[in-house]
Amino acid sequence: MKKLLQNLKRPNSGRSYIPFVDGIRFVAILPVVILHANERFLRYVYGEENLTGLNEQLNYLISRGAIGVMIFFALSGFVLALPFAKSGYTFSYKKYFTRRLERLEPPYIFWMSLFAIIFIIKSGMGVGEMAGHYFSSIFYVHNIVYAEFPVINPVAWSLEVEIQYYIIAPFLAILYFNQKDLSFRRIFLAALIILFIVFQHVFGFQYQPFRASILGQLQHFLVGLLAADLFVHSKNWVNKKAYLYDILGVATIIMMMFTWTDDLEKALLFSTALMGFFISTLKGKIVPQILSYKWIPVIGGMCYTIYLTHLPLLELIYSLIDRIGYSTTYFSGLTISLIITLPIILLSSIIFYTVIERPFMKKDGFQQILEKIKSRISKRLVKTEQ
């Protein structure tokens, strides 16, 4: 088991590893998977129209799993800001973006291509029509072109938002950390988050299609930027751990669940709670330990693969359950189905992650793989010539 854990850990990419960051990824991906499993269970098996009473309340609580995506956004803001927060960092926009493309694009193109083929076979959509959706998704502009979630893999909408932030993140971070007065820049950023949320609601950017763009999500990334500042430049404060912050972590997750709406007041509370959650991961006594415990950061480290593949897998599993037949209550049926589906998703993700994603996570991984491919091709050419 220890060897398996070691083999699945995030490979050395030349940067210091922070386990609780992958632990946060675990916290973000789990409710998203359960949310989508519940949606498929209702669609294919139970029927949302059959929900009543407590079952409706349970369904509502599970639907709050969407907050995991906002946690991902904030975490991206946190991670992307860290190098800029440290003194002596030399920035190259070319290296910055090339590294992200080499790390993220190969798995993304592989899965989107595979799912596009499956979608054509399953739906009967013409190749020409699919080509528009496919290339719009590959270049992260599907929401801009079609004003709707990607048809190939709907969850890819958030990756389009991530790319939009990747483009502007270095400039925001440089401007922010160039201001040396800690108190001023933090107060300014907090005020900017509030003003942006107000601006967002004045112009209706909290609704589709703007919701699925940086205009609908920027505040969450900025929360991560602020958290990165605290993590790097307030070490003495961060190192003073307290159980109170563990309670804060639980309270803020509950608060996020009930403030994730389109209302202005709740949107302001949501960002406040999101910041509180990140503070709990920095200053809690128990929360950081849980987030760094064995399998939690390992599974969190596989979140990109899990995120890309879980929805098509859930579609397949629950459509099969529908064919087999079903007769039980909502709660027991959903529970049994999760006991079946979650291990399948985890095991398949371990395989997919190991084979497809992990090689590109290594430092110069993309170049190493290219060299291996070139070497194999040249060897085959030599054999054919002989």
Condensed to tens digits (0 to 9), the pLDDT of residues 314-373 reads: 999 998 887 776 667 899 999 999 999 999 999 999 999 999 998 888 766 666 676 666
Distance, in Å, from the CA atom of 46 to the CA atom of 93, rounded to the nearest integer, reads 50
Stretch 104-132: mean pLDDT:
94
Split at pLDDT 50, 70, 90, the class of 8 is confident
Distance, in Å, from the CA atom of 213 to the CA atom of 264, rounded to the nearest integer, reads 18
Q: Which domain holds residue 138?
A: 2-9+18-385
pTM more than 0.85 = yes
Stretch 293-306: mean pLDDT:
94
Distance, in Å, from the CA atom of 236 to the CA atom of 252, rounded to the nearest integer, reads 23
Split at pLDDT 50, 70, 90, the class of 9 is confident
Looking at the structure of the chain, the number of domains it has is 1
Stretch 5-12: mean pLDDT:
70
Distance, in Å, from the CA atom of 175 to the CA atom of 169, rounded to the nearest integer, reads 10
- Relative orientation angle of helices 157-178 and 67-85, to the nearest 10 degrees: 30
CB 77 within 8 A of CB 217: no
What does the pLDDT read at residue 374? 64
pLDDT digits (tens, 9 = 90+) for 239-263: 999 999 999 999 999 999 999 999 9
Split at pLDDT 50, 70, 90, the class of 168 is very high
Stretch 38-49: mean pLDDT:
93
CB 85 within 8 A of CB 18: no
pLDDT at 5 over 90: no
pLDDT at 14 over 80: no
Split at pLDDT 50, 70, 90, the class of 375 is low
Lowest mean pLDDT among 101-115, 142-156, 266-280, 349-363: 349-363
pLDDT at 4 over 90: no
Mean pLDDT score of the chain: 91
What does the pLDDT read at residue 386? 59
E-assigned strand segments in 213-255: none
Q: Which two tokens stand for residue 333?
A: 């049926």
- Report the candidate in 156, 131, 160, 128 with the shortest Cα–Cα distance to residue 144: 160
pLDDT at 384 over 70: no
Q: Which two tokens stand for residue 29?
A: 């991906």
What does the pLDDT read at residue 294? 86
- Report the candidate in 25, 18, 28, 160 with the shortest Cα–Cα distance to residue 85: 18
Distance, in Å, from the CA atom of 253 to the CA atom of 181, rounded to the nearest integer, reads 31
pLDDT at 187 over 70: yes
Stretch 153-159: mean pLDDT:
97
What does the pLDDT read at residue 90? 82
**CB-CB neighbours of 362 under 10 Å:** 17
What does the pLDDT read at residue 336? 92
